[in-house]
Amino acid sequence: MFKKVLIANRGEIALRILRACKELSIPTVAIHSTADSESMVVRLADESVCIGPPAARDSYLNIPAILAAAEITQADAIHPGFGFLSENAYFASMVADHAMTFIGPSPGHMILMGDKVKARETAQKLGLEVIRGSDGELASLEEAQALAKAIGYPVLIKATAGGGGKGMRVIHHEHELAEKMDMAKSEALASFQHGGLYMEKYLTQPRHVEFQVLGDAYGDVLCLGDRDCSVQRNHQKIWEEAPCSVLSPLERETMIIKVISAMKKLGYSGAGTLEFLYEEGQFYFIEMNTRIQVEHPVTEMITGLDLVKLQIMMAAGIPLPLRQEDIVFRGHAIECRINAEHPETFCPSPGRVEAYLAPGGPFVRVDSALFPGCSIPPFYDSLVAKLIVYGETRDECLQRLRRALHEYVITGVDTLLPLHLRLCETQAVQEGNLHVKWLEQCFLAHHAPLI
């Protein structure tokens, strides 16, 4: 096992990693910017190192500063969490070059799956279905026009690098193509320093369903089931569930077998998530995230497994302690992302938290680094808490979620708590009639303002 783990992240995921390390009796080092000097993870870690000023490029993306902090504190492993450098193959390579372990997959797998075109090609070779689209990066507007005509509008233009909806545009008519390709390319260049684009057929009302995997260094792979992440805004997930309520046992079992087979052929080691669009009984691979996901707690709730502890153990060279037949899925779990944003305009709401009271009771979990008087700086992602609840059935889970949301108190800043309360009372949510465009097209576009 590792002697000391440096946590190369901040906020709730940094605290989540710290807790897993403590349960494994591993000392921790928290890095932080000057804006996070009073954060919860800094207070609880065994050691802390300030690595720079507030801007992420000068702190949490500052590879030399992070490596120096690890060397100074004699950490022998680095956990990147999610976001920031978690899928940066160069960073992972540099960690290895400094005789430390990167708690994640190999740089090669990160490069392969980080390029959406290569990931798509790889998925096909591994036996996974993909949406009809370009075979590689689009070379010209003329090629894009011919392909769009062949597969039929609407089509989706996507950046080959990155994610999170950056460099992505829906095109309904041919006259929009040139302008929207230019917009997508400019956004991709600004976000990922690479302007490559590819095209896919645009599905009208798909669900976003993903499968969690864990692989060890000895070729064994577990699939820990599926999650439904269809409630999204601007391609950003807001609400996640496990399992997906509309999959049949046969569909789930078939996909688990396919996913395990694909990851074994790939030789994948570490935590990862394969993401699919699901429509009319068909799964279409869209991307793979080579890291722990924001929504991993719902999988933990229905399996009883600690994914972060398992992730650390796999990185330390410990074989998977379970076989696939040992995995039991029980009940239903829902996660609400609590962002520091206005619940109607979604404008970020940094500031000082005045009152903070997390909900409690049976089968209620809160992952957050907030506390009364803490500061939410304006420099980073607005996710400040995750509320996760469990029930034996989806109906029980929803009822428990309503109760927990009513208990949750955060004052001093705006949050999405009122939005989640309203979602709980919505018929489509109660019945599970959701798709990736539902929140924007069917809910936000037609709902009266919150009072």
16 annotated active-site:
no
399-426 in b/e form (b: 16+ CB < 10 A) is ebbeebbeebebebbbbbbebbbbbbeb
Three-state SS annotation for 332-387: EEEEEEEECECCCCCCECCEECCCEECCCCCCEEEEECCCCCCEECCCCCCEEEEE
* Marked catalytic residue, from 10, 227, 291, 400: 291
Contact 20, 309 (CB under 8 A): yes
Question: What is the spatial distance between Cα 155 and Cα 138, in angstroms, rounded to a whole number?
Answer: 13
Residues making up the chain, counted from first to last:
451
CA 135 to mean position of chain CA atoms: 26
Question: What is the spatial distance between Cα 448 and Cα 175, in angstroms, rounded to a whole number?
Answer: 34
Task: Report, as residue numbers or ranges, the catalytic residues.
Answer: 291
